[in-house]
Each structure stands twice: as C-alpha cells, then as structure tokens.
Structure 1
Amino acid sequence: MQKVYIYKGFERFWHWSQAALIFFLALTGFEVHGSFSLFGYEQAVESHRFAAWMLLTLIAFSIFWHFTTGEWKQYIPTFSKLQAQIRYYTLGIFKGEPHPTRKSVRNKLNPLQALTYLGFKLVMAPLLVITGLVYMYYRSIDANDMVIVSDIPLNVIAFLHTLGAYLILMFAIIHIYMTTTGETPTSNIKAMLTGYENLEEDEPEENLYESEFSDIPKK
C-alpha cells in the first residue's frame, strides 16, 4: 500500500460544502412544507432561498473545475466490471472477498459509482435545480408585465421538486453508508478530509514483464 494524494483541495471543499448545503436545504425545505417548526416559516423560506443560491454558485464553480481539470472523465461509465461490482456490494463484501476494481488517481470511482454519480449530476441535481427555480419565480412579473411561469400547475412543480429532494436524500444516505466500506469504516471519510488515501501500489512494468516470462530460461 502507498499513501496517494487523490482528492484535491477544491474537490474536498466542493464535496463538504455541497453536502452541508443539501442537508440544510432539506431541513428548511421540509419546514416550508410544514413537516415541523424550527426556524419559523418566513425564516425557513429566506434561508432555503439563500442556501439554494449558494448551491447554484457552488455547482457553477464545480462544473468549471471539472472541465478545466479533466476530472469530468471520472464519471464516464464503463460496463466491463459493473456486474462484478454489483455482486461485490450485495454479496462479496459480506464474505470478505477482494474488491473487483482498484482505485487510482485516474480512476477514483468504480463502475457502479461512476454510473450512480453520473445519474446524480444529469438527473437528480438538474431536476431539483430546475423545479426549484420555477418554484421560486412562479408567476413572477418581468419589465413588460408578462407572466414568466403560469401554465404549469404549482402542485406539479412542488411534487417534482419534492421528488428530487427525496432522491438526493436517498443518494446521500446510501453515499454515507458506502463510505464505511473502505479499508476501515473511516478511511474514506479521512481521505476526503486530508486528500490522502492508502492505495494498492502499482507493480512496475518491468516486474510485470519478468513475472510473465519467468518460466523462460535466461541465456
């Protein structure tokens, strides 16, 4: 095993800031829906709106970072070991079987993680953001006194926004559980705090060559 700097500074900042904002938005959002009373309705609405704009700003910076650093390639799904990965999480992990894939700086996500995170970025997050903006500006008036949003029933927008919130909360809960399946129950969390993680050391190419042809008599 070798200690590798795998998670960059902005990546860790973005990860923890996004997590904090998601849970705060869930807290204030459910209060707006009348599930409980903590801040008070008006304060919950204002806090929810402020946190939403903070999340949108963070998303904008993260999109820029992903494309300028090439980290977006981490989310390209592959199906070569997807079945093996699913079997590992549903059965093999409880039998102490080895992980079917190896993490590296170039491949931080296994096939199932890449597919799941891609769904988060292309389906769940856009659903929540778009319906949230429509909800926020429902029946807003522009300079020409034209209603921007009026044809879509408000209850449909509210349902879709709530659906997106539940999907992201489910994703967050599963994500928290999956962090405990590393080398130790806290190793993945520690890696996202420090940036460093213990990874299997790659065998040098010359050693691989020698081991492959070790049976051939040397001259």
Structure 2
Amino acid sequence: MTISKLYLYTRFERFWHWMQGMLILLLIVTGFEVHGVYRLLGFETAFAVHNLCAWAWLVLYAFIVFWIVTTGEWKHYVPTFSKMFEVIRYYTSGIFRGEAHPVPKSERVKHNPLQRITYLGIVSLLVPFQMVTGFIYYYYNRWPQFGWNWTLSTVAVLHTIGAFAFLVYLIVHVYMITTGHTLGSHLKAMFTGYENIAGGD
C-alpha cells in the first residue's frame, strides 16, 4: 500500500476548526455549570465565560460562513446520496475488515456523503438553533419589550437539547478521528493541513 500526501486544509480552515471546537467545549462545560450540574468555576464566572464564548462563536461563525461562500468551499458541503449506503456499510462493518474507503479524499472531494449531510446539518440547522435559543435565553429580561410570551423553562430546555446534540456530535467526531489509515492520521491532518491518502500497491 502506498501513502501520498494531499494538502486539503488551509490555515484558516484549521484555525476555525480548532477555535470552534474549543469554544463549543467551553460552552458545554460552562453551560452545564450554569444549570447547576456541578461546581467548577462558580456560577458568576461560568456565566461570564459562557456569554463571552457565545459572542466569540457568533463572530467566528460569521467569518466561517463568509469564507465557505467566497472561497468556493461550499461545494464540499453540497449533499449527495451517491455511495451513501456504501459509506454507511464501510463505517459499520467494512472498516473492521480492512476494506478501502468507498469515497477516498481528494482536492475535489474533501468530505464523503455522510460527512456532507452531517456538516451541512450542523452549520445550517444545529448551530443557528443553538445560537438563537441562547440569545433568546440571554435577553430574558427584555422579552416583554419584544412582546415574547415564552416560558423561561421552555427556552432553557430547547437550549439544553441543543447542547446535548453538540456533545453527542463531539463524541462521534472524536471517534471518527481514529478511523484514518493510522490512529492519528486524521488528527495530524488538522494540524499540518496534509492528509495522508492510502492507495493501492
């Protein structure tokens, strides 16, 4: 088997990947503390850090969307069902038998069909949902001015559901990192920008 290097992830792409991951992790940790699950930083500090990270994430998210749209990276997120079932079969059984990935990475195809749908759903649905519920929650004292009649518990539950969805995604994402041709090859690629692509002999 031959291994070739392919430059797939730009500096900004790697920057926003790690920055967004750090912000989401901090938001989860501080968010659960604000909800009283445990005591780590103290309520006031956790609340302040949570809000700071939320604003930072909003700014970063705006830059990410702008970058994806203006650089043509959006093409890598267009959903497709071509070879979708082959990819699912690969991750559920083929990978454990040493089979080759049905959709190898290339400069033209960074993400397989399963990744495309997952990432598109996160960027276009889960992230906006979490941000909207978070900022509605944040401006609770101004609800009467806006004529909003929700209950605080409803918004809190919705925001918490979104947090659990992100937590599940992070766990799955960390597992998927280990599915390269070596245990750490995908992780290394998000530091160097170069993905090692396994080929035939």
Q: Please say if residues 181 and 198 of structure 2, whose CA atoms lie closer than 8 Å, have aligned partners that are also in contact.
A: no
| Cross-structure match for 2:103 | 101
Alignment partner of 1:140: what SS? helix
Letter in structure 1 aligned against 2:70:
T
Tell me: CA distance 1:3–1:32, structure 2 relative to 1, closer, same or farther (3 Å).
same
- Counterpart CA distance in 1 for 2:162 and 2:56 is 18
- Counterpart CA distance in 2 for 1:153 and 1:106 is 47
| Cross-structure match for 2:174 | 176
Out of 129, 133, 140, the residue aligned to residue 127 of structure 1 is 129
| Cross-structure match for 1:208 | none
| Cross-structure match for 1:67 | 69
| 2:158 is aligned with 1:156 | no
Tell me: CA distance 1:104–1:138, structure 2 relative to 1, closer, same or farther (3 Å).
same
Higher helix share: 2
- Counterpart CA distance in 2 for 1:86 and 1:149 is 46
Q: Please say if residues 82 and 112 of structure 1, whose CA atoms lie closer than 8 Å, have aligned partners that are also in contact.
A: yes
- Counterpart CA distance in 2 for 1:118 and 1:56 is 17
Post-superposition offset of 1:29:
0.3
Out of 190, 193, 200, the residue aligned to residue 192 of structure 1 is 190
Please say which structure displays the higher CA radius of gyration: 1
- Specify every segment of 5 or more residues in structure 2 that has no aligned partner in the other structure, as ranges: none
Post-superposition offset of 1:149:
5.5
| Cross-structure match for 1:206 | none
Deviations for 1:128-178, whole angstroms, at most 9, x for unmatched residues? 01100100111327xxxx612531111110011000010011111101100
Letter in structure 2 aligned against 1:181:
T
Letter in structure 2 aligned against 1:151:
N
Which protein, 1 or 2, shows the higher relative CO under an 8 Å CA cutoff with sep ≥ 6? Answer: 2
Q: Please say if residues 7 and 196 of structure 1, whose CA atoms lie closer than 8 Å, have aligned partners that are also in contact.
A: yes
Alignment partner of 1:88: what SS? helix
What's the TM-score, normalizing by structure 2? 0.94
- Counterpart CA distance in 2 for 1:122 and 1:34 is 30
Letter in structure 1 aligned against 2:49:
S
Q: Please say if residues 139 and 148 of structure 1, whose CA atoms lie closer than 8 Å, have aligned partners that are also in contact.
A: no
Q: Once the two structures are aligned, what percentage of the paired residues are identical?
A: 51
Within 5 A, what are the aligned runs for 1:43-58? Answer: 43-58=45-60
Q: Please say if residues 4 and 198 of structure 2, whose CA atoms lie closer than 8 Å, have aligned partners that are also in contact.
A: yes
| 2:39 is aligned with 1:37 | yes
Structure 1 runs of 4+ aligned residues shifted over 3 Å read: none
- Counterpart CA distance in 2 for 1:200 and 1:7 is 17
